[in-house]
Amino acid sequence: MKDSVLRTLLVSFVVCFICSLVVSYSAVSLRDAQETNKLNDKRSKILQAAGIFNPNLPVEDQFNKLEQKYIDFSSGLLIDEVDGLDLSTYDPVEFSKKINFSKAVNPDQDIAIIKSQELYGKIYILRDQDQGIDKVVLPVRGYGLWGTLFGFISLGADLNTIEGLEFYEHKETPGLGGEVDNPNWKNLWKGKKIYDLRNLVEIEVIKGKVSQNDLNIAYKVDGLSGATLTSRGITNMMHYWFGDNGYKTALEGLKNGS
């Protein structure tokens, strides 16, 4: 009986059963913690884009300093409430996939290759002591070489000067397109301008290095070497989200104080 086939099978079964219980329990009990970590990672990227992230303080406390609003893309207005939505948890990317809360992007205009756009965007506003706008953070996304890059860009009080750019998810190759996460490259964005004097989107990731003598230096960022396709994807992303389908009308409204 000691070495019987039945005994071997029984022991294997009991071991497998106990292991599966442990794995299932861990998966279920850790799910909330994983969701919280994911949310906090996104929040820390928003804070980093705005240049106000302190790794020694709880993310949630820092994040609470930001005011959140919806952007109604059809009117460009900033609004506090939308029926059926909760602003504090609203994720524009998630809602860009919901039929009643999104619209298909006309392929002629879909330079960022997002296919469908949420009806309501989201803006994070950091106010100064006089309750004026100090910075805003806006979600951006667009296709690179291997997939969509998801991130946040921050603009200063003039709503044109870039304060920071952070990506929280992408599929680009480490060392090539993945250099979008390189702090040196991200630093190149600081101080660059989105719109030119005619209010056209001019920001561009060029191929190679920007010449110090370039008259349009304010609108140009060095390309990622060996990753022209990712670089081009980021240019297209900026042109889409700061163009007429994206934040342009809302930013004009904010600039005019409405």
Ligand X SMILES: Cc1cc2nc3c(=O)[nH]c(=O)nc-3n(C[C@H](O)[C@H](O)[C@H](O)COP(=O)(O)O)c2cc1C
Residue from 93, 173, 190, 252 touching ligand X (CB under 6 A): that is 173
- Which stretch in 21-29, 34-42, 53-61, 170-178 sits in contact with ligand X by CB under 6 A? 170-178
Contact 175, 190 (CB under 8 A): no
Closest chain position to ligand X (CB):
177
CA atoms within 13 A on the CB side of 197: 1
Contact code string over 130-159 relative to ligand X, x by CB under 6 A: ---------------xx-------------
In the bound state with ligand X, the residue whose beta carbon lies nearer, of 102 and 230, is 230
Binding region for ligand X (CB under 6 A) out of 2-10, 98-106, 168-176, 213-221:
168-176
Q: Which is nearer to ligand X, 137 or 234 (CB)?
A: 234
172 binds ligand X (CB under 6 A): yes
- CB nearer to ligand X: pick between 146 and 185: 146
Q: Is 232 in a helix, a strand, or coil? A: helix
Closest to 203 in 3D by CA, of 214, 184, 189: 189
**How many residues form the binding site for ligand X (CB under 6 A)?**
11
Residue where the block lists tokens 């009308």: 249
Q: Which residues in the 64-83 window bind ligand X by CB under 6 A?
A: none
Residue 122 to residue 94: CA distance in whole angstroms: 12
Q: Is 246 in the site for ligand X (CB under 6 A)?
A: no
User: Would you list the DSSP string of 113-167?
Assistant: ---EEESEEEEEEEE-TTS-EEEEEEEEEEE-SSSEEEEEEEEETTSSBEEEEEE
Comparing CB distances to ligand X, the nearer of 118 and 172 is: 172
40 near ligand X, rule: CB under 6 A: no
Short-list 66, 90, 91, 70, CA closest to 81: 70
Q: Whole-angstrom Cα distance, residue 141 to residue 152? A: 8
The 10 Å Cβ neighbour count of residue 166 is: 24
For tokens 């909330």, what's the residue?
Answer: 32
Taking the least distance from each CB to ligand X, the nearer of 40 and 173 is 173
Residues 216-235 that bind ligand X (CB under 6 A): 226-230
149 or 155, CB closer to ligand X?
149
Minimum CB–partner distance for residue 143 and ligand X (Å): 11
Residue 172 C-beta: closest distance to ligand X, Å: 4
By CB under 6 A, what part of segment 100-119 binds ligand X?
none
Alpha carbons 253 and 258: distance in angstroms, whole number = 5
Two tokens, residue 72 = 């109604």
**Rounded CA gap, 134 and 221, in Å?**
24
Other C-beta atoms closer than 10 Å to the C-beta of 50 total: 26
Question: What is the closest distance, in whole angstroms, from the C-beta atom of residue 175 to ligand X in the complex?
Answer: 8
Comparison of 139 and 177: residue with beta carbon closer to ligand X: 177
| Interface residue with ligand X, options 92, 142, 151, 177 (CB under 6 A) | 177
Return residues touching ligand X (CB under 6 A). Answer: 145-146, 172-173, 176-177, 226-230
